[in-house]
Each structure stands twice: as C-alpha cells, then as structure tokens.
Amino acid sequence: MNIDIIHKLVTYMDKVDAIVIGAGVVGLAVAAKLSQNLSNVLLVDKNSTFGEETSSRNSEVIHAGIYYPKGSLKAKLCVQGKEMLYQYCQQRHISHERIGKLLVAHNDAEEQYLKKTIETAKNNGVDDLVWLNKAEINKLEPELSATAALLSPSTGIINVHHYMQSLLAELEANQGLFVANSQMLNAKPCGKGFIVELFSGDEKIQLNCQYLINSAGLHSTDVANNIAGLPPHFIPQLHWCRGHYFSYSGVSPFKRLIYPIPEANGLGIHASLDVGGQLKFGPDTQYVDKLDYEVSEKLKTKFYQSVKLYFPAVELERLQPDYAGIRPKLQGPNDEFMDFTIQGESTHQLKGLINLFGIDSPGLTSSLAIAEYVNNMLDLAK
C-alpha cells in the first residue's frame, strides 16, 4: 500500500514541496502545519507506522514550562505550545485533562528551590503557581508526604496516540501524504532544493523537494550526517538517555501529578496518571549507547525507595515494570542545561533545510509551537 503510494508519487510527480523526515509527534505537527501553506507535503518514517519511538514512550504530560531558563527555546516553546495544545485538544476532541501537578519539598533546601522556581516560572510567563503548606497538601492529597509544595494548575495530561492521529488526519485533509517503511538514506542540494534518496519498501527512490525538515529524533544526527553540503561542525553530539517506568496496580492514591525536585538530567521519578486513570512512576535517567527499551525488574527497589519519600504507603508488590523511553539529549551526563537546537539557513547556509536536534522533554508539549517556529523560519507564515 505504502509502496504503491510512493510509486505513484514518483511516477506522476517526482517533485514535492516539502519532505519531513520522522513521523513522531514533532514531525507530524510540522508536516500538518506546512500542509496549511504548501500543496505537496510528504512525511516519511522508517518504521511501519507513525510515532513508534520516543513519541509513544513518554509521560504524556502537558508541561507548564516552569523550570527552563528564561529566554530559552524550551521556555518559550513550552509555554506557547501548552496553550496551543490545550486549544487543539478542545477543538479536535482529543482526550486530555488539566489535572494539575504538585512539586513537592521535604526540607528547607528543597523549599528554597520551590521559592526560586516561582521566580523562574514567572520569568517564563507562568504566574499561576500556588504555594501550599502541609495542611493544605494534606487536604488535596492525603497520601502525599511533603513539608511544602507548589501547585501548578496548568499542567495536564494527554492521550498522545490520539493527538498524533489527529495531526495525521489534518495533514491528509490538506492533501499531504504520510508514507511508512521509508527510510531517508541521503540528500543533496540541487537547484532550489534537494534530491532526497529514500529506501521505501524494498527499493531506493529519489524525490526532489524545496524544503527538507529533519525531525528524526534519536536519529537526527545520523540523518544530518547524510545531507551533502552540511558542514559537520553544525551537527551536535547527541546522547541517548533512557527513562524507565513502573506502573502501580489498583486505584491511584493521587488525583494530581506528583513531582519531586528535579535531578540534573531529568525531572525525577514522578507519579503521573494517564487519561484512563492508570498511575505510573518514572522516568529515571540512564545514559545508554544502544536503543534497548528493556525495563529490568532489578530497578524495582530503586523506584520503591524514591517513591517512598513522597508516598510512604507505597506497596512494593503493586509496582510492575512497564515501559521505557529514550531521550535524544544534547546534554551529556555532566553537562549543564542544553536547549532545543533548531537550525535553518541562517546557521548552515543551506536554503530550505531545517534540522531539529535535542528535542527531548518538553518536546511533546512544545510540538505545535515548534511547528509554527519551523513554518516561520521557512518564511511560510500566512
């Protein structure tokens, strides 16, 4: 079916306006956005369907945008993307809920961190955080142990699969096309655009496009390395950082998301609910050098101990290894904060090419804002 589609494309139209590589939540959002302004947008993925990698292996949280440094792309695109995403979900009836989150402290040092967080959040335009004392926490979440907490009312949850289906439907309604089982092998500049070679089905095909968007997530640097004319010094080093989840059987003791104070490379082993009410704990952080999504039973004790700090009644036997996701991080194990990196012509001088690197959390929340940002970089804004 896919191969038929791509053959038709090559036979009748060997040139498309834009090729977007990677059908995760960001590639889908970018393709859907570009299809509002361009007639022929082609979205390709090497896997057998969309969203099989990081986009279906995350916490499904719509983040508020409270932690990121002022002025960073993560801060701007998260806050903007959050509002766009809530609106999109309402308009398109995508399962989501603005359930709120509690960021919890257990001692003076952590309470100081909460106070600083109020300022960081304000700098990012998030001014709805509410300070809660022990009694107030107890009223909202009786099973939660903390000396103080910040309530973030604008944090929510979303059914990501449902969201991705809706983006795909939007792309297709605008005459765009998604083709699975099609791996981008290489590209080279040609005239006013690029010739892109794909391995589609079981053969190699070549297509011309004016715009080329590299939204290949964990493989974005491999894709970039196969674009002729792109100077290697614009291709950053990507680190893969796995996060594991344990589900918690039975009824959830919490109504909201519960987050400890963030760690250096992640937001800490938090408690999150999906739209069906299933409670899970995670993710932790582990830098890895291969794409292996195993969740070892051996991690159970570590999870139990972390969770016990804010949920003393946690029961070991109710924790079950669930799934893992791998973050495409620019930040190595000992590095400071690294921002999303979105490079266009002004960086690398290749007209029509956009590379998206390091789209880790909050990439899901930011997806619609990233799409608009890419659209503006290509000067396609209507």
Residues near ligand FAD (CB under 6 A) are 21-27, 44-47, 52-55, 57-61, 63, 183-184, 215-219, 223, 243, 283, 325-327, 359-365
> Looking at beta carbons, which residue is closest to ligand FAD?
363
Q: Are 279 and 287 in contact (CB under 8 A)?
A: no
Q: How far is the CB of 360 from ligand FAD (least distance, A)?
A: 5
Q: What is the 3-state secondary structure (H, E, C) of 271-283?
A: EEECCCCCEEEEC
Which residues touch 75 (CB under 8 Å, ≥6 apart)? 65, 68, 69, 123, 124
Which residues touch 177 (CB under 8 Å, ≥6 apart)? 5, 9, 40, 41, 42, 43, 171
Query: Whose Cβ is closer to ligand FAD: residue 111's or residue 214's?
Result: 214
Distance CA 315, CA 297 (A): 15
Which residues touch 301 (CB under 8 Å, ≥6 apart)? none
What is the Rg, in whole angstroms, of the alpha carbon atoms belonging to the chain? 21
User: How far separated are the first and last CA of the chain, in Å rounded?
Assistant: 34
Q: How far is the CB of 293 from ligand FAD (least distance, A)?
A: 10
Query: Whose Cβ is closer to ligand FAD: residue 148's or residue 198's?
Result: 198
Hunting for tokens 């949850």 — which residue is that?
157
Q: How far is the CB of 137 from ligand FAD (least distance, A)?
A: 23
Q: How far is the CB of 174 from ligand FAD (least distance, A)?
A: 19
Query: Whose Cβ is closer to ligand FAD: residue 355's or residue 365's?
Result: 365
Q: How far is the CB of 147 from ligand FAD (least distance, A)?
A: 26
Distance CA 248, CA 77 (A): 32
Q: How far is the CB of 210 from ligand FAD (least distance, A)?
A: 19
